[in-house]
Amino acid sequence: MQYQETDLKDLFVIQPRVFEDHRGYFFESYSKRIEEQHGLHYQWVQDNEAYSERGVFRGLHYQVGASCQAKLVRVIHGEVLDVVVDIRENSPSYGQSFSILLSGENKKQLLVPRGFAHGYLVTSETAVFSYKCDNFYDKAAEGGLYYKDPQLNIDWNMADISFKVSEKDDILPTLGNHRPIQLP
């Protein structure tokens, strides 16, 4: 399992080692031992899974205060454009975004630290998205950023896809109208 650092501090792309043969494939999707070898010490407490169709956008969400969450995200089936934005106060990469194609085929994962807004757009006909969280969901601590914020300058690279967005996600604030997260 390879952990690759990104340009955004504390954000890692993980590429598992996949063993394939005539029966199919096998890979270790998570290893606490390997995570700790990279100096990371997460205590995952919740696994979530979402099924969506092409064009569904979920995000850009985060939790604040004592309810902040780190996430380990991956796609089991299909493909998504996964996007994060660093919203940590005093971070050298504050306001910067990172995007990556995650798919059931490439099996890449993204380790999203606390203090990042996270979202994804389904680019395949359907997708099953799975993620671990290091803190429980708290509706009162929920926040988000508007995915079309011109200041974020996110290239969704999907001119041919009609976005399917929840009413809640379509009225989220922009980065300029948002308060940076102070990590506990």
Query: What percent of the chain clears pLDDT 90, i.e. is strictly above it?
Result: 80
Tell me the CB-side half-sphere exposure of residue 169, using CA atoms within 13 A.
Answer: 18
DSSP lists the bridge partners of residue 98 as 84
Query: Taking Cα atoms as reference points, which of 6, 14, 43, 2 lies closest to residue 108?
Result: 14
- Which residue of the set 42, 62, 120, 131 is catalytic? 131
Asked whether the beta carbons of 117 and 144 are under 8 A apart, the reply is yes
Give dist(CA 85, CA 14) in Å, integer. Answer: 18
Average pLDDT score over residue span 57-84? 96
Looking at residue 163, its pLDDT comes to 87
Query: What secondary structure letter does DSSP report for 16?
Result: -
Among the ranges given (27-36, 64-73, 86-95, 173-182), the one the predictor scored with the smallest mean pLDDT: 173-182
Q: Which helix (H) or strand (E) holds 36?
A: helix 32-37
Q: Catalytic site residue 131?
A: yes
Asked whether the beta carbons of 58 and 145 are under 8 A apart, the reply is no
**How high does pLDDT run on average in the chain?**
93
Residue 138 clears pLDDT 90, i.e. is over it: yes
Predicted structure pTM score:
0.91
Model confidence at 184, pLDDT cuts 50, 70, 90, reads low
Q: Which CATH number fits domain 2-177: 3.30.200.20, 3.30.1390.20, 3.40.50.300, 2.60.120.10?
A: 2.60.120.10
Residue 156 clears pLDDT 90, i.e. is over it: no
Model confidence at 159, pLDDT cuts 50, 70, 90, reads low
Looking at residue 178, its pLDDT comes to 79
DSSP lists the bridge partners of residue 122 as 80
Average pLDDT score over residue span 7-25? 92
Give dist(CA 39, CA 35) in Å, integer. Answer: 7
Give dist(CA 41, CA 85) in Å, integer. Answer: 22
Tell me the CB-side half-sphere exposure of residue 151, using CA atoms within 13 A.
Answer: 13
Q: Which residue has the tokens 């990590």?
A: 183
Residue 85 clears pLDDT 90, i.e. is over it: yes
Looking at residue 174, its pLDDT comes to 94
Looking at residue 162, its pLDDT comes to 83
- Which residue of the set 61, 118, 146, 147 is catalytic? 61
Average pLDDT score over residue span 164-169? 93
Q: Catalytic site residue 61?
A: yes
Residue 181 clears pLDDT 90, i.e. is over it: no
